[in-house]
Amino acid sequence: MILSGELREIIKVQRPVRVSNGSGGFTTTYTDLLAKTYAKIVEERSNPQLIANQEDIVNYVHFAIRYRPDIPIKNADRLVWRGFNFIINNIKVDSLRTQIDIYVNSEMETSER
């Protein structure tokens, strides 16, 4: 259960849309599925990974929002929080349908939020 005081951050949910680029290919653009909603955000942990002799930091973040039956959030949708983009890859709706837990990971190269 989410308390209203915990919903301190504003996020946007966007859906990818493939648009023809005119030369036979496609580009991916994002449209706002949910212009903004309030969320509780917990940065769970970070995991530094060494890839091609370069250390990248992968952050695991948990977003919790109120249950929204009007907006069908899907895997591969994108969350935007404080200018950072997160691809949704794990969604859990609680049994009482009071909240939606969204778990994402993203590469962030800075601690600036």
Per the domain annotation, does 113 fall within a domain? no
Total tally of structural domains belonging to the chain: 1
Rounded mean pLDDT of the chain?
85
> How confident is the model over 84-96, as a mean pLDDT?
91
pTM of the model: 0.77
The amino acid that residue 40 corresponds to is K
Which pLDDT does position 59 carry in this prediction? Answer: 77
The answer for residues whose C-beta is within 8 angstroms of residue 40's C-beta and 6 or more apart is 2, 6, 7, 8, 9, 63, 64, 65
Residue 34, beta-bridge partner list = 13
Q: Is there a domain that residue 112 lies in?
A: no
Host domain of residue 70: 4-107
Task: Give burial (CB, 10 Å; 0-12/13-18/19+) of 35.
Answer: exposed
CATH number at residue 76: 2.40.10.270
> Does residue 14 sit within a domain?
yes
